[in-house]
Structure 1
């Protein structure tokens, strides 16, 4: 067997790992920045203007958990008269609307089996507010999922950031059920990492953050100018973020505004949810990728933000998928040609590649666990143990990303059953 073939296999895997590292090396710079500047900038309380907000909750069969969210909103250290709560019971077959109404929310029911998804539910409620209330009555709109629970100062802290001039703000996403198992811990560690080691340094560098599903605030003028909620891809959150970043908007982050949500605990639930996310990222890349890359060179928006978002929606997993496909082809070639040397070398190259990626991901999970230790509510041994399973959780994105390329994916609800108050979580 030609020795150059063996060299090619080894060099190929090394180059794939090097490419991956170079593309995302700026995120390690982010982590260094976050380490050095952990404290938020102090704001003069006398300069803070009180704004009036509408809280919008899109809920589908959430009778079990929605009551605790509404209670946590009502317990905010923010004047009650400045906050109205709106719930859209979207295609519900349970008592979500009744529970929400009894808890004190303004509820409207939506039944539409054609246009399914959170984006349509949000747009429905924005139209209701425009028709039955007055857009001008509100300075901003909070968006939450029904399973969320808020810290008492959440709205007050987000209000301070809005007063700094940001028109879109995301917040610190923590978990109600971190310690349930390796799946919930995997989600939780990533969201914590996203908050403190992506969005926080973005704020420090005056770059743009990105909203992530739930727990965000949008200034009323922006919604009014858009004509409601116009984003309906499978990942409407990243679509919203990129649409506005291309237009020059800078999304802010408020690290003191903390909320908790429930993570999936079964692999089937997790697979379905992340399959939708992966498909949604492909959709966003197809719709905005060309424009986003163009803005990196010729646009008037923040060019680094455009690069950052390009790296976000052009999944790094595609590189991993390409590497895997090439290595599998090497492996099959060895089997077909009955060349044990090729099979053995390919196995070695794959194991070395997996080890390298595992090390990088373990470092991400370990650093996040170490710095966020006090905000992770489970036993110490679980915190330590889940740093080792975090890379495995992230590796499961590889088959998910491959399937998402070829499968038609539809939005499916995730059942929420964790009924916890703030005291229960802590």
Structure 2
């Protein structure tokens, strides 16, 4: 007769394998999309007949460590100067961010740079609020967003513009981001592997199979008239990018993936900063799921499927991993034994190998990333870095429902820079 531990184990095994197989399928789809992009002929010089006016928004709150490098990289992008407007929102900064921005503006008088400074009354309320303030000053036909730690490559903006002006069904186009400080320590190397895998698997793979991408927080272009029609960014959403994505699809547009548009960003270099940032992501995703799925779904089509996947991944798969780890540990101490027939060590090893395979596929698409050092990190990743996500999910779920019970607004944590 089956025991409770057997049912728990079967639920965990089934959930983990379903997700692993689905992600492996997306990894192969992402690789197929990668080959399509590689073979696709794109002329970003002759392919744009009339350069549209573009407004670039950069929200900046206490960014003195990174803002100069980022703004200079944006100014160096190859795009007609008279067709771009750079709007930097100095969002209630208490450090030298404002001084640095004014120095840059004085050094480049021929550039269309606007610095908008907010105070404690108008600003300091999160990224979405800062972007909405910047949007009021945007004169471009399209709006581009870069985080204050981003250094986009020279041709990055051209690729984004090329893709969106050549397709009326695209409401937005996202680029690819790379880890600038990946060699800082083992944590940033794990993050580098994670971000590359996510982009090729979840952005490239989903785009190939379902025609779906989600806006990242940076390196994307969106139609200004669409953005204004949607009312800008949701100031209550701490994952404002994901929330905006749902509304873009809800208005009949698609979000495309153009991986040739590359921007480099700084990732957390300490576990504490990483933990806070990822907790904010979890809380933000729960907000989006709750807003658009409950009590009844408020969207349809592929984006509804994507929301359901987000819900299943955040809760069912999350608990499956916890139960699986618990059963494994209790089994080692002889406290709980599985009575089901079969060699479950072999099944676990196969799942582990599948995890290594799908991450490896994603890294082969980035020149120089699939090497012996990174392969070793992938091997230990599941037992180390991935397990830390359990604590992140617990923290995010607890924090979200704690705020809901006490009717507090979710606070936006700004990632610390290095």
In the superposition, the TM-score normalised over structure 1's length comes to 0.81
Partner of 2:355: 361
Partner of 2:313: 316
Partner of 1:46: 46
Match of residue 227, structure 1, among 206, 209, 231: 231
Partner of 1:423: none
Match of residue 115, structure 2, among 107, 110, 116: 107
Moved more, 180-189 or 51-60: 180-189
Q: 1:42 to 1:271 in 2, by over 3 A?
A: same
Partner of 2:86: 85
Q: 1:118 to 1:315 in 2, by over 3 A?
A: farther
Is 1:61 aligned to 2:52, yes or no? no
Match of residue 389, structure 2, among 397, 401, 425: 397
Match of residue 120, structure 1, among 111, 121, 129: 129
Q: 1:291 to 1:107 in 2, by over 3 A?
A: farther
CA shift, 1:352, in A, is: 7.3
CA shift, 1:413, in A, is: 2.0
Q: 1:356 to 1:402 in 2, by over 3 A?
A: farther
Partner of 1:424: none
Note if contact 1:179-1:382 (Cα within 8 Å) is conserved in structure 2.
no
Match of residue 277, structure 1, among 275, 278, 281: 281
Q: 1:220 to 1:18 in 2, by over 3 A?
A: same
Runs of 4+ in 1 over 6 A off after TM superposition: 328-332, 348-354
Note if contact 2:156-2:262 (Cα within 8 Å) is conserved in structure 1.
yes
CA shift, 1:156, in A, is: 1.2
Note if contact 1:34-1:197 (Cα within 8 Å) is conserved in structure 2.
no
Rounded Cα–Cα distance in structure 2 between residues aligned with 1:75 and 1:357: 46
CA shift, 1:398, in A, is: 1.4
CA shift, 1:148, in A, is: 0.5
Q: 1:77 to 1:6 in 2, by over 3 A?
A: closer
Rounded Cα–Cα distance in structure 2 between residues aligned with 1:240 and 1:75: 29
Structure with greater helix share of residues: 1
Rounded Cα–Cα distance in structure 2 between residues aligned with 1:208 and 1:226: 19
Match of residue 161, structure 1, among 156, 163, 168: 163
Rounded Cα–Cα distance in structure 2 between residues aligned with 1:203 and 1:80: 32
Q: 1:64 to 1:239 in 2, by over 3 A?
A: same
Rounded Cα–Cα distance in structure 1 between residues aligned with 2:258 and 2:327: 48
Partner of 1:148: 150
CA shift, 1:342, in A, is: 4.5
Q: 1:306 to 1:320 in 2, by over 3 A?
A: closer
Note if contact 1:142-1:218 (Cα within 8 Å) is conserved in structure 2.
yes
CA shift, 1:54, in A, is: 1.3
Which SS does the other structure have where 1:396 is aligned?
helix
Rounded Cα–Cα distance in structure 2 between residues aligned with 1:310 and 1:216: 24
CA shift, 1:260, in A, is: 0.3
**1:338-384 Cα deviation digits (max 9, x unpaired):** x97553549x999778756543432233222222133x5xx955433
Rounded Cα–Cα distance in structure 2 between residues aligned with 1:192 and 1:324: 23
CA shift, 1:6, in A, is: 6.7
How many residue pairs get aligned? The number is 394
Note if contact 1:186-1:394 (Cα within 8 Å) is conserved in structure 2.
no
CA shift, 1:178, in A, is: 1.2
Q: 1:5 to 1:155 in 2, by over 3 A?
A: closer
Q: 1:97 to 1:356 in 2, by over 3 A?
A: farther
After superposition, residues 188-207 of structure 1 pair within 5 angstroms as: 188-205=192-209, 207=211
Note if contact 1:211-1:237 (Cα within 8 Å) is conserved in structure 2.
yes
Moved more, 64-73 or 260-269: 64-73
Rounded Cα–Cα distance in structure 1 between residues aligned with 2:104 and 2:240: 28
Q: Which has the higher contact order (CA 8 A, sep 6+)?
A: 2
Match of residue 376, structure 2, among 368, 385, 396: 385
Mark the runs of 5 or more structure 1 residues left unpaired by the alignment.
130-134, 418-426
Which SS does the other structure have where 1:258 is aligned?
strand
CA shift, 1:52, in A, is: 1.3
Rounded Cα–Cα distance in structure 1 between residues aligned with 2:297 and 2:351: 26
